[in-house]
Structure 1
Amino acid sequence: MRRAIVVFVENKSHLLLQLGCLYTSLKYIQSNDTDLVVFGTKEALEKVPDDCIKIECELAKDPPEFLHYRFINSISCLAGEQADFLDDYDYILRSDADTFLTPAWNSFYPALYTVGQGGYVNDEKTRSNLKRISSQFHLRHQGLHNLGSTHYGNARLVREVCKLATTITAHILTEEFKNGEGQWPSWYLGVATMYGCEIAVNHFVDQFSIDSKRLDYGSASPESIDDHPHIHCWHTDHMFSKFQFEAGNYDHLSTDNLNLNTIRDYCLFIALKSKQFFHS
Structure 2
Amino acid sequence: MSLSIAPYKHRKLTIPFLIIIILIGTYLLVQTFNSGLGILAPANRYLLKQTSQLNSSFVRRAILVFYPTNQEAHYLSEIRWLYRSWIEMMKYESKSWRTDLIIYTERYSLSFQQLGCIVNEIRKNETEPPQCRIFLYLRISNRKINSVTNHQTIFVDTNKKELFNVNIPRSTLLYRHLSTYGYIDSVNIIAEGYPTFKYYDFILKTDIDVFITKQFAKFIPFEHNGLLVGRGGYSSDFNNRRLARIARDMNWTHQGIPNIGSTWYGSPYIAQRIATLTLDAMLHLYNNEFARAEREQKLGTLLWPDWHYGVLSMYGTHLAVNHLLISEKLNVTKADQLLDQSTTNPDQFDLEKNNRLHLHCWHTEKKFSKFQFKLGQYNQIHPRTLLNDSSAQAYAMRMALESGLMSLEELGQRLRDISSNRTI
TM-score of the two chains, using structure 2 as the length reference:
0.62
CA–CA distance in structure 1, aligned partners of residues 275 and 341 of structure 2: 22
Cross-structure match for 2:342 = 218
Cross-structure match for 1:52 = 132
Asked if 1 retains the 8 angstrom alpha-carbon contact of 2:104 and 2:134, the reply is: yes
Task: Find the partner of 1:8 among 66, 72, 86.
Answer: 66
- Tell me the CA shift for residue 222 of structure 1: 1.1
Cross-structure match for 1:198 = 318
Please show how residues 53-92 of structure 1 align to structure 2 within 5 Å. Answer: 53-61=133-141, 62-80=174-192, 82-92=193-203
Q: Does 1:278 align with 2:390?
A: no
Q: Does 1:233 align with 2:361?
A: yes
Cross-structure match for 1:24 = 84
Asked if 2 retains the 8 angstrom alpha-carbon contact of 1:255 and 1:269, the reply is: yes
CA–CA distance in structure 2, aligned partners of residues 64 and 260 of structure 1: 49
- State the identity %: 32
CA–CA distance in structure 2, aligned partners of residues 57 and 137 of structure 1: 30
CA–CA distance in structure 2, aligned partners of residues 149 and 46 of structure 1: 29
- Tell me the CA shift for residue 79 of structure 1: 1.2
Q: Residue type of the partner of 2:382?
A: S
Aligned length: 276
Asked if 1 retains the 8 angstrom alpha-carbon contact of 2:191 and 2:275, the reply is: yes
SS in 2 for 1:88: coil
Segments of 5+ residues of structure 1 without an aligned counterpart are: none
Kindly provide the CA deviation profile for residues 16-46 of structure 1, in whole angstroms up to 9, marking residues without a partner as x: 2111111110111114421111111216x54
Cross-structure match for 1:144 = 257
CA–CA distance in structure 2, aligned partners of residues 260 and 97 of structure 1: 24
Asked if 1 retains the 8 angstrom alpha-carbon contact of 2:194 and 2:268, the reply is: no
Task: Find the partner of 1:248 among 376, 386, 389.
Answer: 376
Q: Does 1:209 align with 2:333?
A: yes
CA–CA distance in structure 2, aligned partners of residues 256 and 221 of structure 1: 19
Task: Find the partner of 1:116 among 230, 234, 239.
Answer: 230
Segments of 5+ residues of structure 2 without an aligned counterpart are: 1-58, 118-130, 142-173, 410-424
Task: Find the partner of 1:267 among 363, 384, 396.
Answer: 396
SS in 2 for 1:257: helix
- Tell me the CA shift for residue 229 of structure 1: 1.0
Cross-structure match for 1:107 = 218
SS in 1 for 2:190: coil
Task: Find the partner of 1:163 among 273, 276, 281.
Answer: 276
CA–CA distance in structure 2, aligned partners of residues 134 and 119 of structure 1: 20
- Tell me the CA shift for residue 127 of structure 1: 1.7
CA–CA distance in structure 2, aligned partners of residues 110 and 130 of structure 1: 28
SS in 2 for 1:70: coil
Asked if 2 retains the 8 angstrom alpha-carbon contact of 1:79 and 1:159, the reply is: yes
CA–CA distance in structure 2, aligned partners of residues 52 and 166 of structure 1: 27
- Tell me the CA shift for residue 135 of structure 1: 2.3
Q: Residue type of the partner of 2:140?
A: A
Kindly indicate which of the two structures has a greater share of residues assigned to helix. 2
CA–CA distance in structure 1, aligned partners of residues 358 and 369 of structure 2: 16
Kindly provide the CA deviation profile for residues 76-127 of structure 1, in whole angstroms up to 9, marking residues without a partner as x: 11211x4322111111111100000110001221224211121212123x12
- Higher-Rg structure is 2
CA–CA distance in structure 1, aligned partners of residues 216 and 107 of structure 2: 30
Cross-structure match for 2:166 = none
CA pair 177-29 structure 1, distance change in 2 beyond 3 A = same
Asked if 2 retains the 8 angstrom alpha-carbon contact of 1:63 and 1:170, the reply is: no
Greater shift in the superposed pair: 48-57 or 205-214: 205-214
SS in 1 for 2:221: coil
Q: Residue type of the partner of 1:268?
A: M
- Which ranges of 4 or more aligned residues in structure 1 deviate by more than 4 Å? none
Q: Residue type of the partner of 1:166?
A: L
Greater shift in the superposed pair: 86-95 or 109-118: 109-118
Asked if 2 retains the 8 angstrom alpha-carbon contact of 1:18 and 1:98, the reply is: yes
Asked if 1 retains the 8 angstrom alpha-carbon contact of 2:191 and 2:272, the reply is: yes
- Tell me the CA shift for residue 272 of structure 1: 1.1
CA–CA distance in structure 1, aligned partners of residues 286 and 345 of structure 2: 34
Kindly provide the CA deviation profile for residues 135-180 of structure 1, in whole angstroms up to 9, marking residues without a partner as x: 2332221110111121112111101111111121122123321433
Greater shift in the superposed pair: 164-173 or 199-208: 199-208
Cross-structure match for 2:20 = none
CA–CA distance in structure 2, aligned partners of residues 229 and 52 of structure 1: 20
